[in-house]
Every structure is written in C-alpha cells, then in structure tokens.
Amino acid sequence: MKKNEEKTTRPSVTDKDSGMKRRSFVKLLGGGIFIFFQPWNVIDMLPVPQQQQRRTLTKDYNAFLHIAEDGTVTCYTGKIEMGQGIITGLAMMMADELNVPFEKVKMVMGDTELCPYDAGTWGSQSTQTFGPAMRAAAAEAKSVLLDMASAQLGVPASQLEVKNGTVIDSSNDRSVSYAQLAKGKKLEKYLEVKPAVEDYSKFTIVGTSHKRVDAIEKVTGKAKYTGDLKIPGMVFARILRPPSHGARMTSVDVSGAEKIEGVKVVRDGDFIAVICGNKDRVDEAIVKIKAEYDFKELPVNDKTVFDWMVNAQSRVSVAREGGDLDTGKKLSDKIFESEFHDPYVAHAAIETHTALAHLVDGTMNVWASTQSPFGLQDAIVNEIKMTRETVRVRTPFLGGGFGGKAAYQQGVEAASLAKLTGKPVMLVWTREEEFFYDTFHTANVIKVKSGIDKSGLITFWDYHVWFAGTRGSDIIYDVPNFKTTSYSENRSAFQVHPFGTGPWRAPNNNSNTFARETQIDIMASAAGIDPLEFRLKNLKDEKMIACLKSVADKFGYIPAKTPGKRGIGIACGHDAGTWVAQIAEVKVDTATGKVQVVRVACSQDMGLCVNPEGALIQMEGCISMALGYTFSEEVHFEGGNILDRGFDTYQIPKISWLPQIDCVILDRKDKPPKGGGEPAIIAVGAAVANAIHDATGARLYRTPMTPERVLEAIRKV
Amino acid sequence: MEETIRFKLNGKKTELRTDPSHTLIWVLRNELGLTGTKWGCGTGFCGACTVLIDDEPARSCSLPVSDIAGRKVTTIEGLEKKGKLHPVQKAFVEHEALQCGFCTPGMVLTSVSLLKKNPSPARQEIIEALEENLCRCTAHVRIIDAVMAAAKEMKGGK
C-alpha cells in the first residue's frame, strides 16, 4: 500500500447518523419515490489520503435517488464536480438505466446534508466504481416503477416497456409516465440485493457524446464557485502565515493592522487573522502585522533532496517479487543501471483554496472548494469541537482540483474564524498561500537495474522506489526474475518531507512510468531493436499490446533503431484500470536545449467509454497538463521555505506548448468502465524523454527536462 | 476617500461611489455583483480576471478602479445580448472548450477582443493572443478550435 493510502474496516452497524439523514431528507423533499442503496461494497475498497481519517461507515442505506412528482430524477452523490465532467457522465448512466431523457436527470453533489457519505472525489473512481452502484439503484427504481405501472394498468410488468420516462403497454396501447406514477406518492424503497443492470447493448445515451451540462453557466459567468457566494454581513479574511514550514512565532505586533479603517484583528493563540468587509483593506492590513519567528527547518533543499531521500530512515517493503535476480543476472548479455529523479510538483489549480463559513443557530454552514466535503466536515467537527449534525459542508463548482483539493485546510480556517467572529467569513487563499500550503506531488528517487539476453529479452528487473509509492510501478513486461522494493516515510523515525505532500493527478504513476519506460528505451536502444518491437517482444499483456499497435497505427509509426535523429519516442503503462500507450514527436533546438513537442498520439483501453467526447477531453487535458511536469514544473525550496510562490517562477503549460494531439479510444463496450481522468498523463514524460534521445542521443533521467538539463545531457553524448 | 467614478459597464452608463484606489476586480465582484470575473493570482499572471477596457483585454486584479473612469468596460456578463450567447461563448460550448471553467471568462473575453481587431486570425495568431491566459485543465486544443469556429460564424460562415 502506498504511503498516502490506508484501508479501513467494514462498516460499523452502530453509526446512526445516516438514518437521521434519511428521515430528514424524505421530509425535506416531500413527495415522490425514494430509492436508498448501499454503495459500500465498492467504495469501501478505495484508498483515502492518510492525513484524512475516514469515518466509520454505516450499514444504513446511504445513497439516494429520488423520482419527483414531475418525473425529474435526482441523484444525490457525495462526489464533486471539478471540471472532470462527472456531472454529465453520471447523469448519462442514470438516464440510460431508467430510460428517461438525459435532460430529466439532475445531480446534487457534495452536500453533506443531502448526499450520502463519500470519502472524496479522486483516483478516477467516480465512473468505474460509483457509477455501477448508481446504475444498480436506477435499475431497482425502474423495477419499482414497473411494478406500480403494472398495478395501475392491470397487466404484468413483463408486458411493459419504458421509453422516455413513460411506461408503455403496447398491446393495449396504454401508458403511464414516471411523473404520473410518482404523483401524490411518498414511497421509500430500500435496495437490498444488487439487481442485474442493463445490458450495454441497450444503452442509447451511454457511449454517445454529450455536451457538458455546465458549459453554458461557465461561459456566461453565471456558474457559482465558492468565492462567488455572498451572505449579508460577510467579511473577507486574511491569515498571518509563517515565512516557512517549521517556523514558530516568538512575538507579534498587530497594531499596524488595527489602524486600517474597518479592519478587525482576530486572534486565537498563534492563529491571527484580519477581517473586513472590504477585500482591499484586508490585503492592506495583513502586511502591516510584524512578527518574529524561530526557525526549526529540515536541512534539505530542492538540490539535496534526492540524496536526503535515499539516506533517510524509511520503511522498506517488497511490493512484488518473482524468480531470482541472480539467475537473471547470469542470463544477461547486457546489464543497465539507472537512477531517476523527480521533484516536488504543485497542483496549481487556477482557483485557489476558498471557503465561506457562517455559524447560524448553532449550525456551521460551510461552502468550500474541496474534493472531500465529508472529510472537511469531520475536520471541522474535530478541530473546532462541534458535532457532525451541526456542520454542513456544500461544494459549489470547483475551479480545478487535480488532487490538491483533497486537502481542505481553508475550510477549517474559515469555520474557525466564523466561530470566533460570529460573522460570515470568506477566505480566499492568495496564490502565495496556495503554493505554500499545497500538498505537493512528492519528490522521489527511482533506481532500476535490469538486463537483456542476446535476443533482446528482458532477463531481470530490480526496481527500487523511494517515496513515490507503487502506483504505476508494475513491470507490465513479461520478466522472469523481478523484485520491486518500496521505501516509504516512517514519520515517527524520520521526517522526510519539509511540507505537505499528497495525491497529484495519477499519484506518482508519472514518476514510475517515466523510470520504467525510459529504462525500457535504454535497453531497446542498446539491443539495436526498434523500441516498439522491443516492447512487443517483451510483452504478454494483450491489452498493452493492443494499445501499442493501435497508437503506432494512429501515429503512422515506422520502425527504426534509436537514436535515429527522428525525435520519436514511445511509452506505455496503466492507471486506474485503464491501459494507455503514447508516441511523441519532438523538435530539439540543440543550441538552446529547448524542446517543442510537435505531436502526441495516444491510444487508450478504458473499458466501456461512457461519454466518448468527455473521455477525449480528459485525454487531451492529461497530455497537455503533462507537458508541465515534463518541461518546467518543479517546486524550489530551501528548508521549509517554498521559493516558488507564483506563476512567474512556477511555469505551467501555456497554449503555445500545445502539440497536435491524436487520440484513439479502443472499443471495449463489453467491459466495465474504467477511469479516464488520469491515465493519459502518465506516459508523456517518458515518451518525450525517449523522443529527445531519439533526436539527439541524449538521455534525460530527471524531470522537468528544462533547456539547461537537456543541454547538459546533449553535452554528455 | 470616496469619489464618484463614471464609466460604461456592459453597455450601460454607470456611476459608482467608491474609493478610487480599490482594485477593479473587487469592485466588480463585491460592489457590482459581477462574479464572472475570476480571481486567480492577484499579480496579473494567470488572466482569469481579464475584462475588456475599451475592447482591449486588461487584468482587473492589477488595476485601481480609478483607471476605468470615462472608459468602456466589458465583463463576461456583458457578452450575452438579449439572452443570446456571443458567438465566442457559443463556440466554447459547442467545442467543449472548458473543463472547470475558472479560466473561461478570461479566455472568452480575450478571444472576443482578438476577433474584433482581427476577424480572420490564423491559428498562430490565436495562440499568441491567448498565450498569457493560463488554463490548468488544459482545454487548449478546443479553445483554439472554438475561436476559429467563432471567427467563421461572425463573418457569416465565409
């Protein structure tokens, strides 16, 4: 298991709060048909970031589906929408299962009062694990509706069919709509057994492309994000921040801030904030506070971190092992040893962490940009001593998450200030705070030793990974002798990271795929075998073979040995149950070291693709976003001081970096749907590094591949 | 010290009593309720706060409100005419040129300004115009396609 993951036990039967929720929910919504179901059997399996305590799950019915008296179907889910498009994709699945028009399905997301508990939205899990549970509930709802229609129409349910939300008895030419069935009813149904869900071949909505349901709101500026909310009497807040992680305040003088018109200083020990109804005033006031600090920082920076990690006292575990490494070495004609370095990387969503909190009649109402509304609810309960019944978290649209908003410190801070002041408090983290408190993708070191025999078959694979976990560390190739050793943080013995780390889109799979696919390329090149042929020769995984062949076809790949001065590189891997292969083409300016990616072709096997257009958008987004970790993104730091605190020095991909992108989604309608938000990001770094090698003969072992590093590598050729 | 600032906002004559040193974005968002203009960095780097001043893109997070006195300001809320989307907005929807949508108002407004100056931009000209607007979800491919399509529609499909 990865460092930032943990698993918990099965649900406890003692937790009663969701029963209360169910009752208040039915009361709130009035009439219609309610379906309650338990998605635990699937969501209980999911990893949760370590810093977050998962609550004890309840055995009660926790997912809700409501068919209103006007025929509208509403699904209540604790998942959130951050741009990934599940507000559209999940609704499509519901519409298909219930045979209602897509427009009739509404999603209510991420509200702790109305929605069932959900640990958080991450890991590309919404479509592949939550989706099927929802579909099962929809199927149950449909069978309930059919029974009701059967009674009303006086014919057996088997004689009925549903089209566009209307139950039809075609033999007698009679029909009754869902709306008519739900009218004047207050029916609660509890789903005990998971019914068989609809056969994909009957789907009319899933598998066809649907436009985002939130697009019009978003292009007109009407879509509400947390920062757009306003409550009468609302004040803005800024919090006094230490200059570095590990700094402890020794003295403070707030008098300068108090002199600013309309500004109030709020203090609770070392927690010091300024509030004012005027945003400009709080920005002016916060810099007037003078504080002194003691520094107790870790003696590490962005240059020394890799040695620091390898020498750290860590927890060692063998993730997988087979055959015998010594036997493999004896069988080898050539042996290769490489060391790969990857830095801390920021999430850098354009919307910073934002929260609005207001304490009304003993209930803390919080709106927050977070991927984990229930995690935030629990954190508020614990940190400011409230009960779960008196904390309600809601999630308006998120302006990007990428894993960074699995953390929700801003929500706890806003709630604390709301409690301290009694006012509605809006807290919008500055860009500096966003970089300072980000839970970065962790820096890591990977060492690989591997060999090939005379025919180009891989003989052994000895893989050591420091602090990147094992997601994506699967060997994927058919290797007889292998061992994967993982070194993870043993915090009680040794603190490795000077600041927060956490999941970053396809957590650490980028790093593991970069190392593996570069090493494969090194061996292919040394064997004098075309890198595609080398991969196919060493693979038995049919899905990977199919992806590689399909991407070669899409790209128009012509086999050649590398380096061949063409600038073409290949990489593949899998993430979130989805298999992906990519070919990148680059142009390298050997005078400046600047690399332009001309083209990326990508082929993906994601099982049943629910919303093809939505999936393509995610693939394109992954590929474009990956250019950041590939070329420029690296958090510079000295001890606990984050040196990059803005987009001036921390550069994320710009529109001119964009290559031509050609994507293929393999037709796998007969297979369950898998994740789509992350997989295509994993292989870009390696494909580009291999393409740079093909163009120049220079090998890059370090991301990001800045012009300086590319030049340095070229000099070594 | 409050002053009266007169300007044209989304086609309407506007008079505002405010501190002239206040930042334009906070005046728009908090005093005028126009929250479509997004705050992303506060230093003019990301472009989420872009508005048009006399049809030119400007970073509202880095301007005092006094700068707009006597000028014409367009925010994302001002593009729809009589309930009809501006062709650029329509093209962004059609091409799904957005994901989280946070950079979208800035992207749309910068594109509107470009098409006003250059009704038939080449792909490279669109890239240059949008280069300083950051999009972390990286909807880049589709944004360029959307602007090309909008240009075509605005010229009557020629």
- Per-residue pLDDT of A425-456, as tens digits, reads 999 999 999 999 999 999 999 999 999 999 99
**Which pLDDT belongs to residue A154?**
92
Q: What is the DSSP string of A560-622?
A: --SS-SS-EEEEEEEETTEEEEEEEEEEE-TTT--EEEEEEEEEEE-SS-S-HHHHHHHHHHH
Smallest CA-to-CA distance from A429 within A348, A372, A343 is with A348
Question: Given the DSSP bridges, would you call strands B72-74 and B50-53 parallel, antiparallel or unpaired?
Answer: antiparallel
Residue B148 and residue B95 share a domain: yes
**Which pLDDT belongs to residue A372?**
92
φ, ψ of residue A652 in degrees (nearest 5):
-100, 160
**Which pLDDT belongs to residue A47?**
41
Residue B58 and residue B13 share a domain: yes
Domains of chain A by range and CATH?
17-213 (3.30.365.10), 226-295+353-428 (3.30.365.10), 305-344+440-715 (3.30.365.10)
Reported ipTM: 0.97
Question: What band does A76 get if pLDDT is binned at 50, 70 and 90?
Answer: confident
* Beta carbons of B30 and A83 less than 8 Å apart: no
Give the torsion sign (CA, A409, A370, A233, B74).
positive
Q: Does B43 touch chain A (CB under 8 A)?
A: yes
Residue B71 and residue B22 share a domain: yes
* Beta carbons of A349 and B102 less than 8 Å apart: yes
- Residue range of the domain that includes B57: 3-78
**Which pLDDT belongs to residue A206?**
74
CA A390 to chain centre: 29
In the three-class reduction of DSSP (H, G, I as helix; E, B as strand; rest coil), residue A344 is classed as: coil
**Which pLDDT belongs to residue A118?**
76
> What is the least distance, in Å, from the CA of B76 to any CA of chain A?
6
Residue B96 and residue B72 share a domain: no
Q: How many domains does chain B have?
A: 2
Q: What is the CATH number of the domain that holds B131?
A: 1.10.150.120
- Per-residue pLDDT of A11-65, as tens digits, reads 333 333 444 455 566 666 677 888 776 654 443 334 444 444 444 433 445 557 7
**Which pLDDT belongs to residue A440?**
97
User: Do the beta carbons of residue A371 and residue A405 sit within 8 Å?
Assistant: yes
Residues of chain B with pLDDT under 70: 156-158
Q: Does B100 touch chain A (CB under 8 A)?
A: yes
Share of chain A above pLDDT 70, in %: 89
CA–CA separation, A90 and A205 (whole Å): 11
- Per-residue pLDDT of A327-336, as tens digits, reads 999 999 999 9
Q: What is the CATH number of the domain that holds B46?
A: 3.10.20.30
> What is the least distance, in Å, from the CA of B133 to any CA of chain A?
8
Residue B69 and residue B15 share a domain: yes
Summarize the confidence of residues A624-632 as an average pLDDT.
97
- Per-residue pLDDT of A457-469, as tens digits, reads 999 999 999 999 9
Summarize the confidence of residues A631-646 as an average pLDDT.
98
Q: What is the largest CA-CA distance in chain B?
A: 53
Cα distances (Å, whole numbers) of residue A568 to A524, A532, A583, A588, A691: 14, 11, 7, 11, 4
- Per-residue pLDDT of A527-566, as tens digits, reads 999 999 999 999 999 999 999 999 999 999 999 999 999 9
| Domain's final residue, options B26, B44, B78 | B78
- Per-residue pLDDT of A477-522, as tens digits, reads 999 999 999 999 998 999 999 999 999 998 899 999 999 999 999 9
Residue B72 and residue B91 share a domain: no
Is the pLDDT assigned to residue A137 strictly greater than 70? Answer: yes
| Domain's final residue, options B11, B45, B78 | B78
| Domain's final residue, options B60, B78, B96 | B78
Q: Look at the block and give the residue holding tokens 């990301």.
A: B46
**Which pLDDT belongs to residue A123?**
62
Residue B38 and residue B101 share a domain: no
* Beta carbons of B93 and A397 less than 8 Å apart: no
Q: How many CA atoms lie within 13 A of A450 on its CB side?
A: 32
Q: Which of residues 62-81 of B touch A (CB under 8 A)?
A: 75-77, 79-80
- Per-residue pLDDT of A260-281, as tens digits, reads 999 999 999 999 999 999 999 9
**Which pLDDT belongs to residue A25?**
62
Q: Which residues of A touch B45 (CB under 8 A)?
A: 646-648
Residue A596: burial class (beta carbons within 10 Å; 0-12, 13-18, 19+): middle
User: Which residues have C-beta within 8 Å of that of residue A135, sequence separation ≥ 6?
Assistant: A93, A94, A96, A97, A197, A198
Residue B143 and residue B112 share a domain: yes
**Nearest-by-Cβ selection for A646 from B43, B132, B137:** B43
Residue B73 and residue B124 share a domain: no
pTM to 2 decimal places: 0.90
Query: A10: which 2 tokens?
Result: 């099965």
C-beta atoms surrounding B144 within 10 Å: 21
Q: At what angle do helices A707-715 and A684-696 cross, to 10 degrees?
A: 40
φ, ψ of residue B66 in degrees (nearest 5):
-60, -25
Residue B17 and residue B69 share a domain: yes
Smallest CA-to-CA distance from A34 within A63, A57, A56, A7 is with A63
Residue B65 and residue B117 share a domain: no
Residue B131 and residue B96 share a domain: yes
